[in-house]
Structure 1
């Protein structure tokens, strides 16, 4: 991880914590430790404005590790594998999509052996062609090797590294859970009628006491 962070500095602000127990339980498999460190260090975002790594806090379903994309991609690969539509060098049941590119390539973990995730290698398929590329290392090692120029992935653009190596985080405001909409204004007479029906003493006019308004809001949630 140190080699990657020196090559491509992570965002200065910390990433939102991830409940890895929940994530792994939902996926039904353990995840590589290097990926957990990568996700915690960088958060959701894109490397070199091209390589998107799926994240449990992905801001859309297209980049969400726990969203529908990995299963959709595996289903399509299985169709290609069963019918020979496009060559798939690995059993799709042993491929798990971990990212994608702006050009339409996908990055996969080769999940063999399944009970040793820290040994999983990386595969990349060509977006509009039959070629596949296999990297004999972890995801973090793959990113470090590619972004340093040590490894060339044939489907990736030749000018990928012409600009400075960088990581662009997803807009943090999009990570914030949506807040409930404000309660629409309620006529004072409505609250007064409710209060009297429920044994409260409330004046006919003027400001409704805060305690009575709060009691009405608890009894009438938005």
Structure 2
């Protein structure tokens, strides 16, 4: 098991099974998106497909699956449209501290919470493994940053080393249940 899956499995109490593994055409996905994706996201998508973290946060799959959920490209395009509208609104323009993904830089969505918070990579480097995490909560009224990637972010949340303003103070609690592919 790769380091990413070992770290995620340890903090979430999951056991990835070989029957659950998914393979993706990453070249096609990245071409459609217009960006390379971080290695830990690829490992999570393949080894823990449909990862739901603590019953609150979903790691969006790279392609549309039977769940009907948007994939990363569609989620990011929708978020870009929303951010563009907010930036163009004089009442909101000064409250939006980040630009949407433009094909080279900006926010690219990787997850969503049950409260509608958007979890993004802050694409500021050509190396996707250097991207950090930004969470847009409360429909743009709350912004939180984490100086690390997806795996480091999830591990830090569950080890109580990170706090996100938009997330409930009680999450993740001791009873937070995580799962993937419909399995706890």
- What band does the TM-score fall into relative to the shorter chain? 0.7 to 0.9
Q: TM-score, normalised by structure 1?
A: 0.70
Q: Does the Cα contact within 8 Å between 2:22 and 2:47 map onto a contact in 1?
A: no
Moved more, 94-103 or 51-60: 51-60
1:81 aligns with 2:87: yes
Q: CA RMSD in A?
A: 2.0
| Greater relative CO (CA pairs within 8 A, separation 6+) | 2
Q: What is the CA distance between 1:3 and its match in structure 2?
A: 2.4
CA deviation string 1:34-89 (max 9, x = no partner): 111121121113110000111124444534224x2210111110111122443111
- Which of 96, 100, 110 pairs up with 2:122? 110
Distance change in 2, residues 1:90/1:46 (3 Å): same
| Alignment partners' CA distance in 1, 2:120 and 2:91 | 19
Q: TM-score, normalised by structure 2?
A: 0.83
1:62 is matched with: 69
1:3 is matched with: 7
SS at match of 2:20: coil
Q: Does the Cα contact within 8 Å between 1:62 and 1:69 map onto a contact in 2?
A: no
CA deviation string 1:83-133 (max 9, x = no partner): 2443111122311111110011100111112x2111111100112461100
- Which of 122, 126, 137 pairs up with 2:133? 122
Distance change in 2, residues 1:126/1:150 (3 Å): same
Q: How many residues align?
A: 170
| Alignment partners' CA distance in 1, 2:79 and 2:71 | 13
Structure 2, unaligned stretches of length 5 or more? none
Larger Rg: 1
